Amino acid sequence: MIGFVVRRLLQLVPVLLLASTGIWAMIYAVPGGPIAAIAGDNASPEQIAAATAQFGLDRPVLVQYADWLWNALRGDFGISIRGRAPVLELIGQRLPATLQLAVAATIVSLVIGIPVAIASALRPGSWIDRLLSGWSALALGVPTFWLGILLILLFAVELRWLPSASGYVPFWENPLGALRNLALPALTLGVYVSGILARFLRASLVNELQADYVRTARSKGLPERQIVGVHVLRNALLPFVTIVGLMMANFIGGAVVTEAVFTYPGIGRLLIQAITTRDYPLIQGCIVVILVLYIAINLAVDVLYAYIDPRIDYR
Amino acid sequence: MSRLLRKTGSILARLLSRKGSALALLFLSAVTFAAIFANFLPLDPFGQKLVNALKGPSATNWFGTDELGRDILARVVYGARTSLLTAAGAVAIAALAGVPIGLVAGFFGGWRDAALMRLVDVLLALPAILFAMAMIAVLGRSQAAALIAVGITGIPSFARITRAQVLTLRKRDFVTAVEAFGGSATYNMFRTILPNSWSPIFVQVVVLCSVAILLEAALSFLGVGVPPPTPSWGEMLRTGKSYLHEAPYYAVLPGLVLTLTILSFDVLGRALSDILQGRRDVDVVAKAGEASS
């Protein structure tokens, strides 16, 4: 098991290295480079020279890259140009909000997705199956930002039950306030992902229901509830773990749009601000942190999967 | 040529015989028609009339007017042009780069396969929307940048699908026969294997159209897509969101057209996958990785 984890970690090194080199190179390939952003558009040649020297941009490219990589490895992504604070500190402030939303959205998607999948898998081809599969197509096709706007219109503008802009309230400090703020963004993200989860779980349930052990269980007179609830669901949920993990990993960085709809203070919004203000160190930092989290979650899923499914050989 | 026409005709007939895909085809034809011939329609997407600002739907302005008094329906129609053009360009980039990558990787195997597919993995390592945003941060905000960024995020899906197809065909007798007759690798890849791989690639083109339209709209919604005053659906939703209290139709109606377009491409993709490959489900997971959340 430990060997498996170590090997998977080692496989990540080239991907991370290549990706971070790409991120670094992309930004330094900009015409005018980051200096134009740092010094401002109307900077005099002296100011540009000063900024170049201050940020060490007059050194050979390879030295700059090695320096950046070495600092990044130690968690130092430099100082935000606009925010005048260490990049990692800015990201650290936003991380709990993003994680809280990711967890809430995952719960919503499971609460919707699992019952939908079970209901439609038990009677494939029936009207309820067709209705529910239409629903998951809808959940997948409706853009999250439009769904978010519709939810704001209904719950914030018309009914006035929930705030239209969601702030970050830590759940353990004020559970009710946190739920009020999380409800709409978590629903928006959760509905979208429930469409994917339901489709996937339905397919694997239908598959399992045709297995020999189900026929055996039925012929020995086990109640259907027990067959589905205990035996089938357990087997069908195995591949499902991978998808849930993938979705969670996607929430970390991919919730940019939902965060923008609800002006939710997560990493996604920080990244948009960084891009619109051309804050290059912050852009690099955000992307690297998101990438590392994304890969870490995927790795955790792989390991968990190997652990819960004894058929997988992880030597 | 006549064979191709006949085949296209039979696929079209089968699409039209299903209620869902017939409706989708009808809607997409209408949107495409409006986008192409927008200049000939009595619509003006730029004319500002401030006294008319934020007026609800009426006989003269079917979708109402925006904060500058511009006709929202006209902007939706011209926005269709932006969306469809970006999607078409992006899908073309993705296919032109992705298909050859998949062909070479699958055909030769070995180090070429490993190197190319690792590169594709790196592209997949980041959610598409983030990758596109990072590209735009570098290229600057323009329609071309949005098109290129969305296109690059589509490369992995084409590379993977083509590679999988090549792997199933690689050991087939007709491929071996061409090799035995001394056909070059290039000839074999492009003249023997590729013509037999069109079905999954074509399905992917349709599926990716919906992803590209969604991604372009998401970028515009975030304020990094096609720059104003070019009408774009995402940009309209972005501005409309500021007027939810005064003018709810402003964000709702363009969003409805955007959603119907995306859903239509989805329905069409699934129907085509069923007709051409006998599979009902398009690779949901592959799609999920690309769509923006």
Residue type, A164: S
Q: Is residue B53 one of the residues assigned to a domain?
A: no
Closest CA to B129 of A144, A254, A26, A293: A254
pLDDT tens digits, B106-132: 888 888 888 888 788 777 767 788 888
Structure tokens belonging to residue A58: 């007059």
B222 to chain A: which residues are within 8 Å by CB?
A: 256-257, 260, 272
> Minimal Cα distance from B127: which residue of A?
A254
Of A238, A216, A236, residue with least CA distance to A120: A236
- Chain B positions in Cβ-Cβ contact with residue A146 (cut-off 8 Å): 237, 251, 255-256, 258-259
- Whether residue B4 lies inside any domain: the answer is no
**Is the ipTM above a cut-off of 0.95?**
no
Distance between alpha carbon A273 and the CA centroid of its chain, in Å? 18
At residue B189, the 3 state secondary structure works out as helix
Q: Which of A62-76, A276-290, B214-228 has the highest mean pLDDT?
A: B214-228
Distance from CA of A219 to the nearest CA of B (A): 31
Give the CATH number for residue B217. 1.10.3720.10
pLDDT at B97: 93
Task: Write the CA distances from B33 to A2, A232, B78, integer angstroms.
Answer: 60, 49, 11
Cβ-contact A263, A269 below 8 angstroms: yes
pLDDT of residue B289: 41
Q: In whole angstroms, what is the distance from residue A15 CA to residue A1 CA?
A: 22
Q: Say if B86 falls within a structural domain.
A: yes
* A257 φ/ψ angles, rounded to the nearest 5 degrees: -70, -50
**DSSP readout, chain A?**
-HHHHHHHHHHHHHHHHHHHHHHHHHHHTSTTHHHHHHH-TT--HHHHHHHHHHTTTTS-HHHHHHHHHHHHHTT---B-TTT-SBHHHHHHHHHHHHHHHHHHHHHHHHHHHHHHHHHHHHSTTSHHHHHHHHHHHHHHHS-HHHHHHHHIIIIIIIS--S-SS-----TTT-HHHHHHHHHHHHHHHHHHHHHHHHHHHHHHHHHHHTSHHHHHHHHTT--HHHIIIIIIHHHHHHHHHHHHHHHHHHHHHHTHHHHHHTT--SHHHHHHHHHHTT-HHHHHHHHHHHHHHHHHHHHHHHHHHHHH-TTS---
Mean pLDDT of B78-94: 91
Q: What is the mean pLDDT of chain A?
A: 81
**Residue B290: per-residue pLDDT:** 42
Instruction: Report the pLDDT value the prediction gives residue B258, as an integer from 0 to 100.
Output: 92
Looking at residue B61, the DSSP 8-state letter turns out to be: S
Q: Say which residues have a Cβ less than 8 Å from residue B108's Cβ, sequence separation at least 6.
A: B185
List pLDDT tens digits, range B8-51: 888 888 888 888 888 888 999 988 888 888 777 777 777 777 77
Query: Are the Cβ atoms of B266 and A140 closer than 8 angstroms?
Result: yes
Distance CA A39, CA A35 (A): 6
Q: Using alpha carbons, select from A27, A35, A36 the residue that is nearest to residue A68.
A: A27
Q: What percent of chain B has pLDDT over 90?
A: 11
Q: What is the spatial distance between Cα B145 and Cα A33, in angstroms, rounded to a whole number?
A: 17
Q: What Å distances lie between residue B265 and A82, A129, B45, B110, B203, CA to CA?
A: 41, 22, 26, 36, 10
How far, in Å, CA of B130 to CA of B136, rounded? 10
* Cβ proximity of A305 and A312 under 8 Å: yes
In this structure, the number of other CB atoms found within 10 A of the CB of residue B195 comes to 8
B78 closest CA partner among B187, B202, B235, B287: B235
What CA dihedral angle connects B112, B115, B118 and B119, to 10 degrees?
Answer: -100
Q: Are residues A234 and A69 in contact, defined by beta-carbon separation less than 8 angstroms?
A: no
CA–centroid distance for A8 within its chain: 21
Residue A52 has pLDDT above 50, yes or no: yes
Least confident of A76-90, B83-97, B218-232: A76-90
Of B146, B105, B110, the residue nearest B129 (C-alpha)? B146
Q: What is the pTM of this model?
A: 0.84
* Minimum-distance CB partner of B258 among A143, A257, A283: A143
Q: How many CB pairs under 8 A join A and B?
A: 151
Q: Which residue is associated with the tokens 């969306």?
A: B83
Measured between alpha carbons, how far is A34 from A120 in angstroms, rounded to an integer?
54
CA dihedral A126, A138, B91, B198 (to 10 degrees): 0
The answer as to whether B63 is a domain residue is yes
Q: Number of structural domains, chain B?
A: 1
Residue that wins the pLDDT comparison between B20 and A313: B20
* Token pair of B199 as six digits: 């079905």
3-state DSSP percent of chain B in helix, strand and coil, to 5: 75, 0, 25
Rg of chain A taking only CA atoms, in angstroms: 24
Query: Is residue B187 included in any domain, yes or no?
Result: yes
Question: What is the spatial distance between Cα A169 and Cα A106, in angstroms, rounded to a whole number?
Answer: 18
CA distance B112 to chain A (A): 16
Integer Cα distance of A150 and B256 in angstroms: 10
Answer whether B224 sits within 8 Å of A276, measured CB to CB.
Answer: yes
Compute the radius of gyration of chain B from its Cα atoms.
21
**pLDDT of A279 above 60:** yes
Residues of B in contact with A139 (CB under 8 A): none
Residues in chain A: 315
User: Is residue B9 domain-resident?
Assistant: no
pLDDT at A54 over 80: no
Comparing CB atoms, the residue among B217, B262, B281 nearest residue A141 is: B262
Does residue B11 lie in a domain region? no
- In a domain? residue B1: no
**Cα(B101)–Cα(B201) distance, integer angstroms:** 13
Closest CA to A291 of B115, B208, B121, B211: B121
Q: What is the DSSP string of B117-181?
A: HHHHHHHHTS-HHHHHHHHHHHH-SSHHHHHHHHHHHHHHHHHHHHHHHHHHHTTSHHHHHHHHT
> Which tens digit of pLDDT belongs to each residue from A110-146?
999 888 888 888 888 788 888 888 888 888 788 888 9
**Mutation target vs B (from A18, A145, A259; most B CBs, 10 A cutoff):** A145
Chain B hits for A14, CB-CB cut-off 8 Å, are: 118
In angstroms, rounded to a whole number, what is the distance separating the alpha carbons of residues B85 and B78? Answer: 11
Taking Cα atoms as reference points, which of B278, B290, B143, B100 lies closest to residue B207? B290
The residue of chain A nearest to residue B262, with distances taken between CA atoms, is A141
Residue B117 lies in domain: 19-42+59-292
- Give the closest of A189, A200, A260 to B221, CB-based: A260
Tokens of B74: 């006209």
Structure tokens that stand for A230 in this block: 């205990």
Size of chain B in residues? 293
Whether A153 and B138 lie within 8 Å, measured CB to CB: no
Answer yes or no: are the C-beta atoms of A305 and A314 closer than 8 Å.
Answer: no
For residue A231, pLDDT beyond 90: no
Specify the pLDDT at position A156: 82
